[in-house]
């Protein structure tokens, strides 16, 4: 059996303009001091990485790896969550998602999409140059504004939306296949790929592409009232990445899943720091180990109450305490014996 690796941490929510959060080396030293062994790197943050340079230069990638190795760290994956989002944007969201794009393509949806696709292809090459096998991203969304069917969705709308989504992602998936890297979609509300059913619909449209895989994050399933443990039973063969993030769902007589337009702290569904929410991580780590997942357990911190430094500080030992060293022995082997066909026949009455 294989074991989950960790602890690791996604750097996106911690980067800032002041030390120790203002460079990859500085934040690397900080997280290493907290007990983390791996970092997931946001490729849109120039304080961490130059994505284009990483795609073009193995020497540059080796330099980054060398800096992290000196700190006792390795790169778990690169992330293009923001760029992946821009591969598919419904016009209703043009203004808000322009904030994810460089100034040169703002107010130009076609140019923005082309930029996002190019970024994804750069990420494929960069991941390969780092020797990575998985990549974290979002799918983007053309249909999200129709998630609740009122007025009812016109016939064929959903099928057309997934056809277009697949059309945009196929060249990207092929580029990642050429690089030998899996694309791991974080199934997330706001994305057209947000649960098991939508992932299956997309997978069907891309012909079961072997590089279309899943970043498993139970927090998003808690907020959808989805069985996040059973999800692993269904999709473990496609789960190639794991965000360790907690959440809670506390519906009331006034609000439920949709949250009534409230702030995160006032919503029925809220993200929490590890151990403060409702996610059964004992069961998750057990199931992932059972199915042979040997990727990284990566903390993603998005708590609506706790300070991020406290969340990161508590996160490393939390993950460490949930890691399972997979057994190489069967517990009752001591009572077993060798294969004896005649004895087996006798037991069966044959």
Indicate if the pLDDT at residue 1 is higher than 90.
Answer: no
Query: Within a 13 Å sphere around the CA of 321, how many CA atoms are in the beta-carbon half?
Result: 9
- Quote the pLDDT of residue 327: 81
SS3 breakdown of the chain: % helix, strand, coil, rounded to 5?
45, 15, 40
Mean pLDDT of the chain: 96
Helix (H) or strand (E) holding 164: helix 157-179
Domain boundaries, the chain: 5-348
Q: Which of 235, 201, 205, 197 is nearest to 217 (CA)?
A: 235
State residue 55's pLDDT score. Answer: 98
Cis amide linkage into residue 7, ω under 30° from 0: yes
Of 74-78, 141-145, 271-275, 343-347, where does mean pLDDT reach its minimum? 343-347
The residues, any chain, with a CB within 8 Å of residue 2's CB and separated by 6 or more, are: 289, 292, 293, 294, 326
Strands 246-249 and 269-272: antiparallel
| Confidence (pLDDT) at 335 | 64
Q: What is the pTM of this model?
A: 0.95
Question: Is residue 328 predicted with pLDDT exceeding 70?
Answer: yes
Joined tokens for residue 263 = 């702030």
Mean pLDDT of 94-110: 97
Residues 6+ apart with CB under 8 A from 227: 221
pLDDT of residue 329 exceeding 70, the answer is yes
CB contact burial 8-34 (16+ within 10 A = b; e otherwise): bbbbbbbbeeeeebeebeebbbbbbeb
Supply 300's token pair: 């993603």
Confidence category of residue 331, pLDDT binned at 50, 70, 90? low
CATH number for the region 5-348 comes to: 3.20.20.150
The overall longest dimension of the chain from CA atoms, in Å, is: 80
pLDDT in tens, 242-269: 999 999 999 999 999 999 999 999 999 9
Report the relative pairing of strands 5-10 and 212-216 from DSSP bridges.
unpaired
């Amino acid at each position: 059996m294989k074991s989950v690796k960790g602890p690791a941490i996604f750097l996106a929510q911690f980067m800032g303009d002041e030390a120790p959060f203002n460079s990859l080396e500085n934040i690397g030293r900080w997280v290493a001091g907290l007990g983390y062994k791996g970092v997931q790197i946001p490729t849109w943050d120039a304080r961490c990485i130059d994505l284009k340079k990483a795609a073009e230069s193995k020497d540059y990638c080796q330099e980054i790896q060398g800096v992290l190795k000196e700190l006792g760290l390795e790169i778990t994956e690169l992330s293009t969550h923001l760029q992946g989002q821009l591969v598919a944007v419904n016009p209703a969201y043009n203004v808000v998602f322009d904030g994810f794009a460089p100034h040169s393509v703002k107010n130009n949806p076609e140019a923005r999409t082309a930029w996002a696709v190019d970024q994804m292809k750069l990420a494929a090459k960069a991941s390969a140059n780092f020797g990575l096998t998985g990549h974290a991203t979002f799918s983007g969304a053309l249909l999200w504004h129709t998630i609740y069917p009122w007025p009812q969705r016109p016939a064929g709308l959903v099928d057309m939306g997934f056809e277009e989504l697949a059309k945009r992602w196929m060249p990207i998936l092929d580029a990642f296949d050429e690089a030998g890297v899996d694309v791991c979609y974080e199934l997330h509300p706001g994305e057209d790929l947000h649960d098991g059913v939508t992932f299956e619909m997309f997978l069907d449209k891309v012909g079961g592409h072997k590089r279309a895989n899943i970043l498993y994050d139970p927090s998003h399933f808690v907020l959808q009232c989805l069985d996040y443990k059973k999800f692993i039973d269904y999709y473990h063969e496609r789960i190639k990445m794991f965000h360790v993030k907690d959440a809670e769902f506390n519906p009331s007589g006034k609000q439920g899943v949709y949250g009534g337009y409230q702030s995160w702290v006032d919503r029925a569904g809220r993200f929490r720091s590890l151990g403060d929410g409702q996610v059964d991580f004992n069961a998750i780590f057990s199931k992932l180990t059972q199915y042979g997942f040997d990727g990284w357990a990566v903390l993603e911190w998005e708590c609506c109450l706790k300070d991020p430094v406290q969340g990161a500080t508590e996160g490393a030992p939390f993950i460490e305490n949930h890691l399972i060293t997979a057994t190489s022995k069967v517990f009752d082997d001591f009572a077993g014996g060798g294969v004896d066909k005649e004895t087996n026949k006798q037991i069966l009455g044959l």
